[in-house]
Chain A
């Protein structure tokens, strides 16, 4: 069974640029959630996708957007990058979106905005 994978591992971008991060969910999981983890902080919920539809969103501006594909893999897009967007971006998949279903995390993408 393949776990959650993310690409790229590290990324350096300039303020104002756009970035796309990718996530492959664990086999059989139809729900993907994205989190932003600033240095020394806990992860903050960005949004969740369930069967290709957005299923909830945290307190992030519209320049954070996402997609989920028929194979349940997902993308996180961030437009007009700001310095504060520098963080570890974590993707997590689960069997279903309910509370009792564990979320399994990928290793993350470290984004640095200069």
Chain B
């Protein structure tokens, strides 16, 4: 079945540091890949997406490239801010064993950025 594995947190960084959150996936066929962010007490917000191999999704300084050969979709940002502190979820959308489609999420990585 479909699965997403992402690095465990928390990840603690100083402001302006470089961020990488690793994400790898297992899926049938060619899924679409997403990063969602969840701020404290809120629902999920779509951060970026990529729908085919070698696509790069980007938003608010965050980037991730769909790597089919390594089944990865790592999230990166060159300079984090305190306001980036949140939980980040990697997800894929693709056919389940039943043939239906749904989002499959990783377990989330908490990012803490210190001033």
Q: State which of A14-22, A52-60, A61-69, A78-86 sits at the interface with chain B.
A: A52-60
Beyond A90-B44, A106-B43, A108-B43, is A45–B103 a contact (Cβ under 8 Å)? yes
Q: State which of B14-22, B65-73, B78-86, B93-101 sits at the interface with chain A.
A: B93-101
| A-chain residues with CB within 8 Å of residue B51 when the two chains form the complex | 99-100
| B-chain residues with CB within 8 Å of residue A43 when the two chains form the complex | 44, 89, 103, 105
Beyond A42-B105, A42-B107, A43-B105, is A48–B43 a contact (Cβ under 8 Å)? no
Min C-beta distance of A63 to chain B, whole Å: 19
Are B44 and A45 in contact (CB-based, < 8 A)? no
Are B32 and A48 in contact (CB-based, < 8 A)? no
Bitwise, A18-33 to B at CB < 8 A (1) or not (0) is 0000000000000001
Chain B contributes a number of interface residues (CB within 8 A of A) equal to 27
A-B contact count (CB 8 A): 67
Min C-beta distance of B27 to chain A, whole Å: 10
Residues of chain B in range 14-48 having any CB-CB distance to chain A below 8 Å = 31-32, 34, 36, 42-46
Are B100 and A55 in contact (CB-based, < 8 A)? yes
CA distance A33 to B44 in the complex (A): 13
| B-chain residues with CB within 8 Å of residue A58 when the two chains form the complex | 96, 102
Are A102 and B108 in contact (CB-based, < 8 A)? no
Nearest residue (CB) in A for B100 is A56
Are A45 and B102 in contact (CB-based, < 8 A)? yes
Are B101 and A104 in contact (CB-based, < 8 A)? no
Beyond A42-B89, A106-B43, is A56–B31 a contact (Cβ under 8 Å)? no
Residues of chain B in range 39-67 having any CB-CB distance to chain A below 8 Å = 42-46, 49, 51
| A-chain residues with CB within 8 Å of residue B42 when the two chains form the complex | 107
Further pairs besides A48-B100, A98-B101, A103-B46: 13, Cβ < 8 Å: A33-B102, A41-B108, A42-B91, A42-B105, A42-B106, A43-B89, A92-B44, A99-B31, A99-B101, A100-B93, A103-B93, A104-B46, A105-B36
Q: Which residues of A contact B (CB under 8 A)?
A: 4, 33, 35, 40-45, 48, 55-58, 90, 92, 97-100, 102-108
